[in-house]
Amino acid sequence: MPELVPPMLHEILDRTHPPVGLLRVMSRGMSGANTFRDRGAVAGSQACVACGNCVDVCPVLADRGPRLDVMRTSMSLENLVGADCLRCFRCIAACPQVDPELKDATRTYRRAWRVAHLAIAVAFVVLSLTGVLMYYMQDPSPSLFRAALGTAHRGAAVLFLAVPLIYVLGDRRQASRTLRRLARWDDGDRLWLRDALRALASLGREGRFRRGDLNPAQRVWYLFILGMLAVFGVTGAVQWLAAPLAGRGGPAWITAAHVMAARAADLAVLLHIAVKVLWPVVRDERSALARRRAGVRHTGLWPAGERGR
């Protein structure tokens, strides 16, 4: 790729807006495998071919449910999603018009974030398991086993506390962007909260949860993680360094605070898994069923062998 592409690519991918249209224009055009052999072929065309791949893979549109009136083009995706874009870049990976080099560059764009996410996930699982075992197996546990648990717990704690450093050193541009957004709250966030509360109160009939990268809910989650890093770091360090004072009152309330913070973190992570892992599965199954029924009503056709069900 030319040297001017990476800065331009950063500017495009930094925006909270579907980027597939711009990256398609930056590409060389349609692959020869998708063109015709006769004259008048569309070889080299950079126009959207209306394949609908970007519309199908967009999680924002999937959350809104199936619609038969959606045009299957990148322009439709941009108009319907807009500032609700999650910057997952699935639309880029699904577009046959985007060059493979741009797709590879997009995959590496948030590599530091993915590494930090994997590190914090592994650290949290190890911390949770070893912490529970250490808490409930204090006296009966063998000394060697308990020493191994303590070593694993402290090692995972170091990794857990190092996650912000991994993110900052791995991608200072994105880290500074995230920190600036965490510190900025405006009237748009108030409107977002109002719509979200209306959607909750009406069970989705009024208002809606606006997605969007770094929306208020996501920022609250990031602030919660930073708060847990501070609480776990302070209480864990006090427990580790003040182990000889155990049972003298001082470390007792520190231990209680550490345990309560761990339980709160466990509940929050379970909610996070439900929203990020379980809900997409339920959503896709529900959307597939609704789309099938809507297609039947629209065309009057039933799949073979399913009439009358």
Q: What is the CATH number of the domain that holds 244?
A: 1.20.950
CB atoms within 10 A of CB 61: 20
Q: Are residues 33 and 164 in the same domain?
A: no
CA angle 124, 165, 216 (to 5 degrees): 70
Q: Is residue 297 part of a domain?
A: no
Question: How is residue 277 annotated by DSSP?
Answer: I
For 248, the domain range is: 111-287
Residues 250 and 195 in one domain: yes
Residue 295 falls inside a structural domain? no
DSSP helix/strand/coil, 140: coil
Q: Which of 87, 109, 131 is the last residue of a domain?
A: 109
**Could you tell me if residue 257 is inside a domain?**
yes
138 three-state secondary structure = coil
pLDDT of residue 37: 54
| pLDDT at site 248 | 46
Tell me: do 84 and 229 sit in the same domain: no
Question: From CA 33, how far away is CA 22, in angstroms rounded?
Answer: 22
Question: Residue 193: what pLDDT?
Answer: 87
Q: According to the model, what pLDDT value does residue 249 have?
A: 41
Q: What is the pLDDT along the chain (309 residues), one digit of tens a residue?
A: 444 447 788 888 988 899 998 998 888 766 555 555 555 544 455 678 888 899 989 988 888 776 656 788 888 899 989 888 999 999 999 998 898 889 988 988 888 999 999 999 999 999 999 998 888 876 655 678 888 888 999 999 999 999 999 999 988 888 998 999 898 888 888 888 888 888 777 766 776 777 778 888 899 999 999 999 999 999 988 888 776 555 544 577 888 888 899 999 999 999 999 988 898 888 778 777 776 666 555 555 555 545 444
Q: Are 60 and 84 in contact (CB under 8 A)?
A: yes
Opening angle at CA 300, ends 299 and 303, nearest 5: 95
User: Do 124 and 251 sit in the same domain of this protein?
Assistant: yes
298 CB-side CA count, 13 A: 10
Q: Are 87 and 140 within one domain?
A: no
**Angle of CA points 100, 101, 103, to nearest 5°:** 60
Please state whether the predicted TM-score (pTM) of the whole model is above 0.95: no
Same domain assignment for residues 152 and 274: yes
Question: What dihedral do alpha carbons 117, 123, 127, 128 form, nearest 10°?
Answer: 40
Residue 162: predicted pLDDT: 94
Of 66, 69, 65, 91, which Cα lies nearest the Cα of 78?
Answer: 91
Domain count, the chain: 2
> Does 136 share its domain with 265?
yes
Considering the domain architecture, whether residues 237 and 160 belong to the same structural domain is answered as yes
Regarding whether 248 and 201 lie in a shared domain, the answer is yes
Are 85 and 172 in a shared domain?
Answer: no
Residues 6+ apart with CB under 8 A from 173: 10, 14
